[in-house]
Chain A
Amino acid sequence: MSHVHDGAHESSHESSAGAANRVKTLVAALEAANVLTERELDETVESFLAHAQPANGARVVARAWVDDAFRERLLADGNAAVAELGIDLAHWAPVRLRVVANGPGRHNLIVCTLCSCYPLALLGPSPTWYKSDAYRSRAVRDPRGILAEFGTHVDAGVEITVWDSTAEVRYLVLPERPAGTESLSETELEALVTRNGLIGTALV
């Protein structure tokens, strides 16, 4: 599968090899018990990667930047507003979307301290750092320090709200539209929106 890469990861070489063997044994047992097939597992991963796209989040934000009425609907009822764009949030599980808007003097940051809840449909697969103990422990206590590690500076006067996703509500940050983008089309604006901007670790 092409989405698997070598590189930095959390597990040690030995424990990873051990886990690989355990998975192989488990899958073989489940196949033998007619619970599932390897093909079904592969299709599950393919379907996830096809549906969970950060481009979806970018479309939502760009639309909110160009259409004030949509922005109001998005902040009032996230599920209904993204459904207007044909995005199905409930593909994996019934979650409620709350969109939180950055503004002058106001910044938002998303975390899940208890596990790793994340709006997959809008942001794509979550990065390893989001699921890490370092992020989960520190985002709620030291959000400014977290932002600094991403090279993101918010002024001392800006109030940060950290959203800890402890129930089946998923959060998405609506970043401020960058200055000097008045002449850009909606499609051009979409290209400016970064995944980290939608988590709140970057400004756009």
Chain B
Amino acid sequence: MGGQHGFGSLQIESGEPPFHHEWEARVFALNRFMLRSGRYTLDEFRAAVESMPPAEYLAASYYERWLHGIERLVREKGVLDVRPG
């Protein structure tokens, strides 16, 4: 979105909390965990986030976009599949 017009002025918060809700911290941790355990790469994660339909992407918050990417990769990679043995 580099250069695009119309996103308005910055919203600079006081205190700047890293997470605004418990679920955002969980999403951050889920992604870290998946990356570090080799379930997917950072590039696959970025591609999964970017695969959101543009209208949904723009309407979603930062960590909602991440959640979309994680859910998609968990499905695609069969992370929930039962493994034999």
Binding site for B on A (CB under 8 A): 1, 3-11, 15-16, 19-20, 22-24, 26-27, 29-30, 33, 35-36, 40-42, 44-45, 48-49, 92-93, 113-116, 124-125, 127-129, 131-138, 140-141, 146, 149-150, 164
Contacts and interface: CB of A to CB of B under 8 A. Distances in A.
A33 B33 contact: no
Given A135-B10, A138-B7, A140-B2, A23 B27 contact: yes
Contacts of B32: 44, 48, 92
Given A19-B63, A19-B67, A22-B67, 13 more contacts: A4-B22, A4-B25, A7-B20, A11-B60, A15-B60, A16-B23, A29-B80, A44-B33, A93-B35, A114-B2, A124-B18, A128-B13, A134-B8
Contact of A137 (B3, B11, B27, B49): B3
Contacts of B7: 132-134, 137-138
Interface of B: 1-5, 7-30, 32-33, 35, 37, 42, 46, 49, 58-64, 67, 70-71, 74, 79-82
11 contacts: A4-B22, A4-B24, A7-B15, A22-B67, A26-B67, A27-B30, A30-B30, A42-B29, A115-B49, A129-B10, A140-B3
A1 B20 CA distance: 11
A133 B10 contact: no
Contacts of B81: 33
Contacts of A4: 17, 19-22, 24-25
B68 to A, nearest CB: 9
A134 B8 CA distance: 6
A5 B29 CA distance: 17
